[in-house]
Structure 1
Amino acid sequence: MARAFAPGNISCVFKVIPHADPARMHSLGMGFTVKEGVEVTVSEQDETEVLFNGERINFPTVRAVVNRLIQNSGLIGIKVDIISPLPLGCGFGLSGAAALATAYAINELLTLHKNSEKLAMTAHIAEVENRTGLGDVCSQYHGGCLVKLKEGSPLTADRLPIAEQPIYYRYFGPIQTSEVLGNREQTLRINRAADVALNVLQTLTHAKSSHELFNACFAVSKQFSIESGLLSDARVIDTIARIEAEGGVASMIMLGNGVFSTYPFEEATETRLVHNPARLK
């Protein structure tokens, strides 16, 4: 038996970088990891089985990681037990977190001697192939508030000097990442909006205080959510407006019908921006 943890990730801005090779397809953008995530326990058994909070689940991204790592091992299957307080499909990057933690845990269980970068790429490729994400694994591999500006390098990111701090969120329901990534027209609109956002992110200097820099990131994220057409749920729009009316900053969680803020708003759940990356437990 082996166990690993990977943090949840909130994406604020993303641009799809398409490529025929899943190892080269990824996203640019900005996001940050949070205190909660997934804890994955793996053990050998006769067939591969994936559980999420105790219930069997169809999780192709995790199965892809399992299949890739156990090939040539002689094993028939792996039990993957995923525990998380965060919801699937609501923008916390749980598919990436589960894939990455599963890769770390299987590497430990089977003594594969693969380094963390190779394991992260295995998880990233599984995400791309199953259209469940493009950039979460990179953020979860590094930890912290990250900006990704280098095209063609899925695991390259720069950490912004933003302090660990409380984050408040409320989600209203899921958005299927695969449906968004599979919609060419919507992807084009997202990428046009992302180009504007990325240009602004490049101009943000480290001379700003952590507070000023994070507020600027919120402004970029909110504008991106509007210009991309992703901000369409009335509940999300109204919640952001209420927070701003009270002097706070807020934006939409990508991709989920949810709101995140540094301001403790009504019916919000508290988490924390953290710098900790995925790791063995």
Structure 2
Amino acid sequence: MGRTAVAFSPGHISGTFHRMIGPTYAETGSIGTGIVIDAGVTAEVRAAERTSVTIHEPRRDGGEGRQTRTGSPPIEYALARMGVAAEVITTSSLPSGSGFGLSAAALLSSLTAADALFSLGMGREGIVALAHESEIVHASGLGDVVACAGGGLVCRRTPGLAGDIERITGLRDRIVTVHFGPLTTADVLSAPDVMGRIGRAFQPGCPSDLKEFFIRALTFARETGLVTTEVAAVLAACEAAGIPASMTMLGNGVFATGDYAEEILSEFGRVHSMGIAGNGFCLKGVWNE
């Protein structure tokens, strides 16, 4: 009889970030601010002779319906480092490549389930360390893994696994998003001119509340030069209506909050609504089939 382990990790929307390169994977990452969202990735893991990864998610072009993809180099790398082979099925309510930190969420949920299924005893610190390493190796993220270890409005003062992190929790605000197709994180992180603009745009310091977070994030987005035509139109509409909003980092989309945020964003495309997560990744259980 086979066994299945299931785990979940929330996603993370970055508002500001600055890459920091250290001598090791553990010391490399980013500083900055973001929101851990209660939407994310659920992973089902079963033992297999050869590792395979299947990804179920909404369409990445912003249209209706869902799509299925196969293969995930970050997850496959991490499972190989764990010394196991598994069939992994990940399911997300949000599209990848749109600035929701889903690469990190998929890694954390998959590794959490695999750790439980194979009784590896890695613990939360070991899972976070390996997921973070895989993100750095594959240039799929910098600080999302560390952020998704907990919930709330997150400010990463120092980079890497042992980074100084401040969290504001207990927030009840709803976050509304609209996106216009994927923006590949690896492409941005590997472009020196873009990373130079991001570095110059970044201002250190932690916001005192969600309102200040959005003000900082919007200023950062505009100064990076990453704002696309579609995103600029949404941001202008939000600003005219007094809706706190900014560009998802890194994704071709907008996230906003406030009483009329959903109404404004729905004029531009399919809207996703979510809360601010109170907790980080977790194991749901292990069952015999």
Shorter-chain TM-score above 0.5: yes
Q: Residue type of the partner of 1:46?
A: E
Residues 151 and 276, structure 2, Cα contact 8 Å, conserved in 1: no
1:94 aligns with 2:102: yes
Q: Residue type of the partner of 2:214?
A: F
Q: Residue type of the partner of 1:122?
A: L
Matched with 1:119 is 127
- Shift in Å at residue 156 of structure 1? 3.9
Q: Distance in 1 between matches of 2:173 and 2:224?
A: 28
Q: Residue type of the partner of 1:23?
A: A
In 2 relative to 1, CA 172–132 (structure 1 residues): closer, same or farther, beyond 3 Å?
same
1:26 to 21, 24, 29: 29
- The within-5 A match list for 1:182-221 is 182-194=190-202, 196=203, 198-199=204-205, 201=206, 204-205=207-208, 213-221=209-217
Q: Residue type of the partner of 1:92?
A: F
Q: Distance in 2 between matches of 1:2 and 1:241?
A: 45
Any idea what SS the aligned residue of 1:242 has?
Answer: helix
Q: Distance in 2 between matches of 1:26 and 1:115?
A: 21
Residues 157 and 163, structure 2, Cα contact 8 Å, conserved in 1: no
Residues 65 and 102, structure 1, Cα contact 8 Å, conserved in 2: no
Matched with 2:38 is 35
Any idea what SS the aligned residue of 1:174 has?
Answer: coil
1:177 aligns with 2:185: yes
In 2 relative to 1, CA 121–89 (structure 1 residues): closer, same or farther, beyond 3 Å?
same
Higher helix fraction: Structure 1 or Structure 2? 1
1:255 aligns with 2:250: yes
Q: Residue type of the partner of 2:39?
A: E
Q: Distance in 1 between matches of 2:69 and 2:105?
A: 18
- Shift in Å at residue 151 of structure 1? 3.9
Matched with 2:226 is 230
- Shift in Å at residue 153 of structure 1? 4.3
Q: Residue type of the partner of 2:75?
A: V
Q: Name the count of aligned residue pairs.
A: 263
Matched with 1:208 is none
TM-score by length of 2: 0.87
Any idea what SS the aligned residue of 1:142 has?
Answer: coil
Residues 156 and 164, structure 2, Cα contact 8 Å, conserved in 1: yes
1:60 aligns with 2:73: yes
Q: Distance in 2 between matches of 1:55 and 1:164?
A: 32
- Give deviations 1:74-107, integer Å, cap 9, x for gaps: x5x2101101111011111111001111111111
Any idea what SS the aligned residue of 2:94 has?
Answer: coil
Q: Distance in 1 between matches of 2:224 and 2:182?
A: 18
Matched with 1:266 is 265
Residues 129 and 161, structure 2, Cα contact 8 Å, conserved in 1: no
Greater mean alpha carbon deviation, residues 125-134 or residues 271-280: 271-280
- The percent identity for this pair of structures is 32
Q: Residue type of the partner of 1:133?
A: G
Q: Residue type of the partner of 2:115?
A: N
Q: Residue type of the partner of 2:103?
A: S
Q: Distance in 2 between matches of 1:55 and 1:171?
A: 19
Residues 153 and 210, structure 2, Cα contact 8 Å, conserved in 1: no
Q: Distance in 1 between matches of 2:232 and 2:281?
A: 32
Matched with 2:64 is none
- Shift in Å at residue 21 of structure 1? 1.9
Residues 170 and 278, structure 2, Cα contact 8 Å, conserved in 1: no
Q: Residue type of the partner of 1:42?
A: V
- Shift in Å at residue 19 of structure 1? 2.6
TM-score by length of 1: 0.89
Matched with 1:209 is none
In 2 relative to 1, CA 31–154 (structure 1 residues): closer, same or farther, beyond 3 Å?
farther
- Shift in Å at residue 57 of structure 1? 1.6
Any idea what SS the aligned residue of 2:131 has?
Answer: helix
